[in-house]
Amino acid sequence: MSNKTLTITDNRTGKTFDFEIKNGSCGPAVADLTTFYDKTGMFVYDPGFKSTASCSSGITFIDGEKGILLHRGYNIEDLAENSDYPEVCYLLLNGDLPDLQNKKKFIKILTHHTMLHEQILRFYSGFRRDSHPMAVMVGIVGALSSFYPEKTYDFSSEKGKWVAVSRLLAKMPTMAAMAYKYSLGQPFIYPKNELSYSENFLHMLFSTPSGEYKPSKASVAALDKLLILHADHEQNASTSTVKIAGSSGANPFACVAAGVASLWGPAHGGANESVIRMLNIIGDEKNISQFIKKAKDINDPFRLMGFGHRVYKSHDPRANVLRKYCHDLLNEVESFNAPLFKLATKLEEIALNDEYFIKKQLYPNVDFYSGIILKALGLPESMFTVIFAVARTVGWISQWKEMTESENRISRPRQLYNGKEIRQFIKINKRKKNESMFPEHIE
């Protein structure tokens, strides 16, 4: 018996089935179950995909037990400390860090595609002013697919993929900043080619026609680190959404719009907004214990937002880096909301010493501190997940590109069916009175 197979026995029949065990370069091996249904006539059942590897990938490695996050083999801590966001984008896309010449060329290309087609600006006016900026982003990013149609761009070709990659990376900050300006009723601010990626983003967010915003070095550094720390994270919900949409050959701009929609959820990228809301509701350290109690109560839907992770069961390395930047920013940005940071660190300290959180392996995740930094940069909670979406665009599009270059079968899971078995149709005049499906008191 090869030591590279997993043997499964069906005790109902005594039949055994062998499945090949495949090892990656590091991390858990996989049992290749692609032939499981053909061999056993059964499906593998794994709602939420807790034990499922959906693909093979060389972009990001996470060790949830040790709290390790690597991008193309480089530690996230090293990248956050020593790199910048455009360089990390190049690394995720290309597989290695750029030399100086390639870095300059990459930045030049991105810089020269930051503008939006003027007609896209008209889409914004169709939204209510009080729309959530993520609703706007889903619409605008999706609309971009009409400006890069398949009839003009062959997205299966190297050239076509590059158009999708470069335009999305270049234009996401512009679209995001315009969503913010639209919510304020302020004029859109156009990108400036002489500014760096993060400086340009802050310029478009906070400048006005009557006054140029000159971000502090600390603010530019904080934003750039935030973008790096949110760039990619293996096969998370929004990345899987982009890839499932892409597996049908859909327009990559529309696929990224689907990723924006998935990221919006409070269980995913929407958590950073919920963390600040939660801290504001807790309000004071004396209230922390009652909220910890609520989070532990299985009958209470309240969860400690920014805590817990499907993969990290020791600590989220990104949260540790963000806590440090929060602290550094305290000294730099006078408007920095120190009480909120103090409350967050106290909440973390109490939760990490509570046996419920220890037993359930719940630690602060990337969303716990990011909101505090974004607030210090002057952004409202409603923009927090938009910034996450801008940062994660490189992860979405790198994983989409890798998928198009490797296995490219349409993603089509099966199910455990628990509905009605086959039955005869009954004409309406023969049907018994049945329970109505409508909620009470609705017309």
Residues 270-289 that bind ligand SDX (CB under 6 A): 271
Binds ligand SDX (CB under 6 A): choice among 144, 165, 305, 403: 305
Q: Within 13 Å, how many C-alpha atoms sit on residue 286's CB side?
A: 0
CB 367 within 8 A of CB 269: yes
Closest CB to ligand SDX: residue number: 308
- Look at residue 7 and give its three-state secondary structure: strand
Nearer to ligand SDX, 93 or 304 (CB): 304
The answer to whether residue 309 is catalytic is: yes
Q: Minimum Å distance from CB 16 to ligand SDX?
A: 32
Q: Does 365 bind ligand SDX (CB under 6 A)?
A: yes
**CA-based diameter of the chain, in Å?**
79
Residues 21-50 that bind ligand SDX (CB under 6 A): 48
Q: Minimum Å distance from CB 34 to ligand SDX?
A: 24
Nearer to ligand SDX, 199 or 224 (CB): 224
Q: Does 133 bind ligand SDX (CB under 6 A)?
A: no
Q: Minimum Å distance from CB 271 to ligand SDX?
A: 3
Binds ligand SDX (CB under 6 A): choice among 90, 182, 253, 307: 307
Q: Does 304 bind ligand SDX (CB under 6 A)?
A: yes
Helices 100-111 and 197-206 cross at an angle (nearest 10°) of 20
* DSSP annotation string for 84-150: -HHHHHHHHHHSSPPPHHHHHHHHHHHHTT-PPPHHHHHHHTTS-TTS-HHHHHHHHHHHHHHHS-T
Nearer to ligand SDX, 141 or 347 (CB): 347
Binds ligand SDX (CB under 6 A): choice among 29, 44, 115, 267: 267
Q: Minimum Å distance from CB 298 to ligand SDX?
A: 6
From 297, 309, 316, 354, the catalytic residue: 309
Q: Does 236 bind ligand SDX (CB under 6 A)?
A: yes
Which window, 138-146, 309-317, 325-333, 422-430, contacts ligand SDX (CB under 6 A)? 309-317
User: Total number of residues binding ligand SDX (CB under 6 A)?
Assistant: 23
118-125 — which CB contacts under 8 Å span 24+ positions?
A: 119/147, 120/144, 120/147, 120/175, 121/178, 121/188, 124/178, 124/179, 124/182, 124/188, 125/182
Nearer to ligand SDX, 362 or 377 (CB): 362
- The β-bridge relationship of strands 15-22 and 30-31 is antiparallel
In 3-state terms, the chain is what percent helix, strand and coil (to 5)? 50, 5, 40
Q: Does 308 bind ligand SDX (CB under 6 A)?
A: yes
CB 17 within 8 A of CB 39: yes
Which window, 77-85, 179-187, 302-310, 336-344, contacts ligand SDX (CB under 6 A)? 302-310
Nearer to ligand SDX, 155 or 363 (CB): 363
Which window, 262-270, 280-288, 327-335, 339-347, contacts ligand SDX (CB under 6 A)? 262-270
The answer to whether residue 367 is catalytic is: yes
Burial of 334 (0-12, 13-18, 19+ CB in 10 A): exposed
**CA–CA gap between residue 306 and residue 304 (Å, rounded):** 6
* Rg of the chain on CA atoms, in Å: 24
Binds ligand SDX (CB under 6 A): choice among 103, 113, 192, 268: 268
Question: Sign of torsion, CA 122 123 127 132?
Answer: negative
Task: Residue 165: name the closest of 387, 384, 404 by CA.
Answer: 404
Q: Does 295 bind ligand SDX (CB under 6 A)?
A: yes
- Tally of CB atoms within 10 A around 438: 8
Q: Catalog residues that contact ligand SDX under the rule CB under 6 A.
A: 48, 233, 236, 267-269, 271, 295, 298, 303-311, 360, 362, 365-367
Residues assigned a catalytic role: 309, 367
